[in-house]
Structure 1
Amino acid sequence: MSRLPLRIVFAGTPEFSVPCLEACRASGAEVVAVYTQPDRPAGRGRKLTPSPVKAAAAADGLPVEQPESLKSAEVQQTLAAYRADLMVVVAYGLILPRKVLALPRLGCWNVHASLLPRWRGAAPIQRAILAGDAESGVDLMQMEAGLDTGPVLLERRTPIAPHDTGGSLHDRLSQLGADVLAEGLQRVLAGETLAARTQSEEGVTYAHKLDKSEAQLDFARPATALERQVRAFDPWPVAEGSIAGEALRIWAAEAIDMPHTGTPGSVLAASREGIDLACGQGVLRVTAVQRAGGKRITAADYLNARPELRGSR
């Protein structure tokens, strides 16, 4: 007698989740429904816009559910009616109540973009760069009621390169997440029970949600910390700082280990290579900026508009 296909409910919202949805579809399992956040206003016209996961699900002709919450009995009944064997959750953005966690026969899996227990929570990718971590990765986790506290089923690691941004690390981890999920599904479909590793109680850190107020650069801090801030906040919320009195978004910069006697934030030098700003320790060489109402430009192009800064000491 042939086995029925694994029935999956997928829950995710942003672009990060889309490769994992595709991995579910490619696994041979049956995706019976996709849960994603309600359409939100976006763009200059604040037009209601579907999430990237909803767009991908619609393109594949999959049923889409968009509840504001999973707490009501009615919503839980709708979910239960899909008779899922497994629920796969990837950056969904809603809390799963205990009753929801218990609905699928195999429970709920989560693809999380960190090496747990480090960086549980909402913004693990950016927090890892901000902290200067040497590596990151993705964990396939069996979900439980706590915030990212469940046992780890599978893990993939990747070094954080010196020039990685929040965007580049996001894209790499998104694909790694799809890879580790695909492996987990393949093994379960083959009849295997994945071994679960309980998370250590040591080394627990929390990746709190990013706030736009964190974007402001404090030049009294070391240049190395500011460089990480610039990289972590690309593409959002983008670091901000003043250069010779003008408030700018700082898109790219590098830390230089150079002694100086300048006041933090003052321009030490400016050339085609970049604009050197004094920091509490070392120098931050800014190489790409954005003026108010403008687009991202190189430091060289910015200096064409402010030639008085060239060669300043």
Structure 2
Amino acid sequence: MVYAGTPAFAVPALEALIDAGYRVAAVYTQPDRPAGRGRRLRASPVKTLALEHGLVVEQPESLRDPAAQARLAGHAPDAMVVAAYGLILPAAVLGIPTHGCLNIHASLLPRWRGAAPIQRAIEAGDKRSGVCLMEMAAGLDTGPVVACRSTPISAEDTASTLHDRLADMGAELLVDSFDDWLSGRISASDQPEAGVTYADKITTEECRVDWHEAADALARRVRAYDPWPVMRCHRDHAPFKIWAARSLPGFATTGVPGEILAVSDEGIDVQTGDGVLRLLRVQVPGGRAQAVADFLRGHTMHVGEILL
């Protein structure tokens, strides 16, 4: 097979295939990108794992290039497994593997097709998420589904914790289903027309807190945007990041949105458009993310102060 993936989400599946003894002819991953303060080129997590196992690594800028397509065809793959690769696979590429291309998608299709299914599921307040193995087609995550596995989304789940759980689930589901799919013992089913939603890519503009929103919605967005881009407001004209928070419904208050109502080691209570949001873990420029109790040992915040 050929495997295509780039970020940490794609690592467990590749590792599972290697451990199960499948022959991986080549690993496709995005080109090394500048990262860190020095902006040095950094290999993707998938490339790092592939090199550790001595696998051939391919890093084309695009798979629309006929030369890149010819090189892929030269690997003569029976199948191509894709997980968060990040590059579009044109129709010509989808037709190269004998049995087609199988994608590991982090949602219960047809809900949350697109780029950010994990974050959007938490943000929307979904009770469950999961992974699907999908035969890739020309549309955006529209292909028929081979198998799915689901998991509850808890009130404590962040994008980080759900990401890691789904990555492991995807790896297990792939190894459990792959032979049966290749041999035709299980077949794919078309996705239903009802229930289609799209998970747009997360932007940094979305991480700005609007204190006029309801506390419940803000708490979900805080969890959805951990570890990136992290929800934030402004205090004293400087960014004030909110890493963890929970809503306190039913509080009868007369504050204005953004007003600090109470400050204690338990948290910083802020008025929203509906309810109170208790900040539990925060960060200021030059500092690290801290529990509020630790933060308050070095910083002073006052009741009546307005966060913008």
Instruction: Give me the TM-score of the superposition, normalised by structure 2.
Output: 0.95
- The answer on 1:73 being equivalent to 2:66 is yes
Q: CA deviation at 1:227?
A: 0.3
Match in the other structure for 2:191: 199
- The answer on 1:255 being equivalent to 2:247 is yes
Q: CA deviation at 1:66?
A: 0.2
Correspondences of 1:131-280 after superposition (within 5 Å)? 131-188=124-181, 191-243=183-235, 247-257=239-249, 258-280=251-273
AA partner of residue 235 (structure 1)? P
CA RMSD of aligned residues (A): 1.6
- In 2, distance between residues paired with 1:68 and 1:242? 38
AA partner of residue 164 (structure 1)? D
- In 1, distance between residues paired with 2:83 and 2:49? 14
Match in the other structure for 1:122: 115
Match in the other structure for 1:3: none
Q: CA deviation at 1:310?
A: 6.7
- In 1, distance between residues paired with 2:227 and 2:52? 27
Residues 1:259 and 1:310: Cα distance change in structure 2 (over 3 Å): closer
Native 8 Å contact 2:263 2:301 kept in 1: no
- In 2, distance between residues paired with 1:203 and 1:109? 22
In the alignment, structure 1 segments of 5+ residues that lack a partner are 1-7
Say which of 279, 284, 288 aligns to 1:286: 279
Match in the other structure for 2:88: 95
Identity, % of aligned pairs?
A: 54
Residues 1:66 and 1:259: Cα distance change in structure 2 (over 3 Å): same
Correspondences of 1:49-64 after superposition (within 5 Å)? 49-64=42-57
- In 2, distance between residues paired with 1:246 and 1:180? 45
Q: CA deviation at 1:73?
A: 1.2
**Secondary structure of the equivalent of 1:48?**
strand
Q: CA deviation at 1:40?
A: 0.1
- In 1, distance between residues paired with 2:42 and 2:197? 33
Say which of 298, 302, 308 aligns to 1:309: 302
- In 2, distance between residues paired with 1:301 and 1:311? 21
Q: CA deviation at 1:123?
A: 0.5
Q: CA deviation at 1:187?
A: 2.4
Q: CA deviation at 1:27?
A: 2.7
Q: CA deviation at 1:241?
A: 1.6
AA partner of residue 294 (structure 1)? G
Q: CA deviation at 1:202?
A: 1.1
Q: May I ask how many residue pairs the two structures share in their alignment? A: 305
AA partner of residue 212 (structure 1)? T
AA partner of residue 207 (structure 1)? A
Match in the other structure for 1:106: 99
**Secondary structure of the equivalent of 1:106?**
coil
Q: Which has the larger displacement, 146-155 or 24-33?
A: 24-33
Q: CA deviation at 1:306?
A: 3.4
Instruction: Give me the TM-score of the superposition, normalised by structure 1.
Output: 0.94
CA offset digits 1:122-150 (Å, max 9, x no partner): 10000000000000000000001001000
CA offset digits 1:27-68 (Å, max 9, x no partner): 332100000000000011000000000000000000000000
Say which of 18, 32, 40 aligns to 2:33: 40
- In 2, distance between residues paired with 1:50 and 1:308? 42
Native 8 Å contact 1:270 1:311 kept in 2: no
Native 8 Å contact 2:259 2:304 kept in 1: no
Q: CA deviation at 1:70?
A: 0.3
AA partner of residue 154 (structure 1)? A
Native 8 Å contact 2:6 2:84 kept in 1: yes
Moved over 4 A (4+): 243-246
Q: Which has the larger displacement, 93-102 or 238-247?
A: 238-247
- The answer on 1:21 being equivalent to 2:17 is no
Native 8 Å contact 1:123 1:209 kept in 2: yes
In the alignment, structure 2 segments of 5+ residues that lack a partner are none
Residues 1:44 and 1:50: Cα distance change in structure 2 (over 3 Å): same
Q: CA deviation at 1:194?
A: 2.0
CA offset digits 1:82-126 (Å, max 9, x no partner): 010000000000010101101111000000000011100110000
AA partner of residue 233 (structure 1)? Y
